[in-house]
A and B are shown apart, each in its own frame.
Chain A
Amino acid sequence: MTFDLKIDEPHPDHRADGLAQGVLGHESDRPDGWLKVAGAATYAAEEQADDMLHGFLVRAPKIGAVTCPNLDAVRAMDGVRSVLRDPRMIRNAAQGTANEAPVQGVDRAAYVGQPVALVVAATFEQARHAAQALVVSVEEDDVPVLPDTVTPEEPEDQNTRIGDLDRAMSEAAFKVDAIYTTPSMVSAAMEPHAATAHWDGETLTLRGSLQMLKFNRNELADSVGLDPKHVRVLAPYVGGGFGSKLGISADCVAAALAAMELGQPVRVVQHRRHVFEVNTRRSETRQHIRLAADAEGRLTGLGHEALVSNLPEEEFAEPVIQGSHFAYAASNRHLGMKVARIHRPAAGSVRAPGESVGVTAFEVAMDELALSAEVDPVELRLRNIPETDPESGKPFSSHRLEAALRQGADAFGWSRRHAAPRQQREGEWWIGTGMAAAFRVNMVIEAEARITLTHDGATIRSDMTDIGTGSYAIFGQIAAELLGLPLSQIDVQLGDTRFPPGSGSGGSFGAASTGTAVWLAGMEIRQQIADRLGCAEAELTLKDGVATVANQRTTLHDLLSDETIEGHGHVKPGDAFEKVRQATFGAHFAEVAVSDVTGEVRVRRMLGSFAAGRILNPRTARSQCHGGMTWGIGMALTEELTHDRRDGHAVNRDLAGYHLPVNADVPPLDVHFVEELDDWAGPMQAKGIGELGICGAGASILNAIYNACGARVRDMPATPDRVLAAMPL
């Protein structure tokens, strides 16, 4: 049996509020937490085997046709077992949900840094040294690497024109017409991409650092030429993904091919410098934003046109304008995308693709409009909240932006702010505040999960991953709540393609998708218990291992004896996405200090106010928001992957050169959750929270910089030199 659900209709029955165990929606530890802190969680590179071989990827130093003239000499080096130049090796990581092999081949490098060989040796050190000794000769192709030097593609389905924006601009009482840019950025997860592969002659078993296993298995199988049923992928622990581990990565395919060739387990760990090249970066963007408003600051026109880039044959284009389709009302609209085909490393999903950079730039433009219209920035957003989806006219499933704005403003103390810039100073430091709205589409992905209940407790299984987000914790909470068990009696097993296929982690959809599958599995078990007790499921109270119906109490032990009950949940997205516009909303507030001498910016405090449906575990949800807001600091102030202008290569490809915010850059972050139950989000009324915190966060900082010192920075990140250049002197 399976409890299936296709989300076609709202779920106004808030069952989670009537359950007895009292764990769902409450703070809860992560069961994997101590394992990780103690080093007891086995990550992909940590699997041990006596006969393990070690592979090291070799990068192309230039773009063009590749040959390796000293292959034989390298094969003869100490410890070297093989130098693979296999045409099945992949050019770059697969895009999320690709479900098939990405572009393959080693004879022609499409970008500097493309893996063109794998050196396998008895030790890691031997493999690395031999990899460095391998000469990679390139007959160079003359290809473009700068986005503004090519005629970009303009996908027509990415072009929305409603009304007459040019006319709205010419008739506007107030307007903004400006260009904003964001640089390439990378996920830079703490755990580098890594894989260990085993081949027993029939089945390939790969332990990887991956986010979406059901897709990754097919991508790996397709890459190496195996039937997916002979491929097993494990990723029980993942040290951060942020989109960079959505698709199968070069280390996985190379490790698999080497294991299949050599008949021994092979480990391939990406060097930190590989991580910046061979996976996917967030595309740089150039965004032309136009806003037309009437005398009260109500938008009459809205334009958002973006130029992004990617390698040839990559379908992904950073969906910069995704949030602008529904964020604000305006009857004249022009939204469009252009994609430059250039030969920088591949672009793909990085935390909140689209809104992370799109909302951030747009919310800076909104701040500029607020200043010119002399309307308070919070009030400006409130005046432009649409009644229905501004393009399709569909109703919103739930829309709590107003509450997020008002509650956030109150909690932050927004009313004490100076509206004009350059009003507050402490020594050489200008002090200012800024805000931005947050928008993020909400998605559900097909997912399955199984729960097995015995008198000892319950085990949840799904190939879903926990990439540091708290999947283990919240699935345990959902099952504990439904089955009336203490958390200590719940075992959550994830990250194995032998388990039912979950959603995978990405796009903020993990908790609501696989979580709903767990919910359905739990419901199926509740139904079976109710059947045994001869009552309706809704009459059943399950708490602390005891089933109560009316006044009759039955322990789980008595009910099950040595039997096992199974529940299998299966959720699919349905017509809800046709009927309503569903999204998550929020508001960011920031206070900064800007040095009048150096242009250095210090964020002094931030507050985020977020509405994402039912919050399943405030601790893990808050942690997601902290992470997103910290990314916002990076986007606003420090992060930029620099490309060499001659060959496009990633110049600052390590954690010393690519400036993620460090502890000293991150002030106390305050997270406030707006109460919301979105009935269209499924039986738990929960939406995704993993990405909302980054969307617009950087804009609140950039707007605060302007409020502090009058420097309007439109090219991110706002490094000291850019702030100084923009500062009125």
Chain B
Amino acid sequence: MPASLIDGNSLLAVDVGAANTRAVLFDVVEGEYRFIASGTAPSTAEAPVKDVSEGVRDAITNLQAIVGKPMLDANGGLITPSQANGSGVDAMVVTLSAGPTIRTVVVGLLKDVSLESARRLTESTYARIVETIGMNDQRRPDQQIDSVLRARPDLVVITGGTDGGASRSIQKLLEPIGLASFLLPKEKRPAVLFAGNEKISAEVKTLVGSLAASLHFSPNVRPSLETEDLEPAERELARMVVNIRKHQIKGVDVLDLWSGGHILPTAYATGRMVRFLSKVYGAKKGLLSVDIGASATVISAGFKNNSTLNVYPQFGLGENLSALLYYTTLEDILRWSPLDIPTSVLRDYLYQKSLYPSSIAATKEDLAMSQAVARQALYLAMQSARRDFPRGIASIKPTLTPLFEPILAGGATLSSASHPGQGLLLLLDSLQPVGVTTVILDQNNLLPLLGAAASQNNLLPVQVIESGAFLSVGTVVSPVVSAAYGTPILRAKLTYESGVEARVELKYGSLELLPLATGESGKLAIQCLRGADVGFGPGRGSTITVSGGALGVVFDGRGRPLDLPTDAVRRHELIKKWNWTLGGE
């Protein structure tokens, strides 16, 4: 065993997902932190095991077999800190996304102000709004009480009132919440987060304090009408979610103990990492992270002075899948399929897959459906998340996806894809990036774990990211232009480090590829035709340095927004062709 594994401060990071649990070991190799290996096992939050710590032990056992380093003792307890014989780890962090969607009641004053902030705050975690109570609510207080009782909330988020502003109105809204909590059995009372006018904290304690499962305060999400600051409330909410999970799921308390309280909701840990990266590497463009998981699809975007985190359990690919049809149609999902699949077959697939979230596609037809569903789920999540992006961010057209650099993508659908091109095409179809961007695949789903590790060790995330633990798929050039199918819209010349040149002419409606290996860079001279815009202005080209990846430099000339042919036969042919261009069958 290398000495560094014994001498360094090793960190075990565990992610407990809805379908899978992963245990990842980070350690110091040649003076720097590195991703060593990961072990995976099915998650065990659900029956019959009903104890997440069992799945964690299985994942650690699999990791032990890979690295040859015992981390569990004979009783299944974590060995910590590292022992002289090489066993054990020095620290542990946990991220958690398993568990039922958290039923949430939001309370606020105005629909477009505090209630909107409450909605955004709730969307930063694995929650679903089941009831809304606002100042313009026409219902009587007793009707509101009955609505809250019927909603059976796990969580109540209360916002409203600028600091020093309205207090009586918000107090009035608290009465039905307090009374409804009182009427619930003690073990079913919701946790309450107050993120409104700080001046009325004492009254909130009096009205709700003794009646809620727990009462938490965070700084006002709307300190003034013009200002919204969700970050402190998101941090408090993340802590509350872990506490809610401790009551809902057996074994979370064990993980809390093992990690010394370093346990975070997966999405929050991802958001934290995106905020950190956008500050460290921040440029004119934003940084985008997407994660398509069984429990939710998570979109996190970091801009220079702002960041957004949106968690969409309704677009998760697991148990909520049968409800996807509330948000889309079978036809809209099937537009992404390269195969001719009847809508009835897809509908059956959605319901069957929601019964068995951890099952995977074994046949080509099943894979076509699962990929089409993932595309549509990510597309819908991105459309929803865009509403919350700050104003004035860099973009080519305000109606299109803003400019991002890079795009980080994770989740089992992408990391288990049979080749990188399959994952890249899924991202291009659903995110529809514009301009020039690098696409990075988080094939080991490390991003949230690094976000959680940052609280233990702020050096580790930076060193692991720069060590090449992520797979660079390549640089993508996506011009924005209106043209007829087959019309040349862009010419490019790639000059390799060796001096060799490669050229490409991109026609509207097509995808092209110039190979550029991982670790290499090249000079890409772009000439835009017919007013095409890749971020330098309409018709303006430039020469830029691009880095390589698994696929090299990909040119996406299919138009923005992507407009697929309505003729099914033609569409299927095109999708197969695009897939083939990016290395698929």
A in complex with B? no
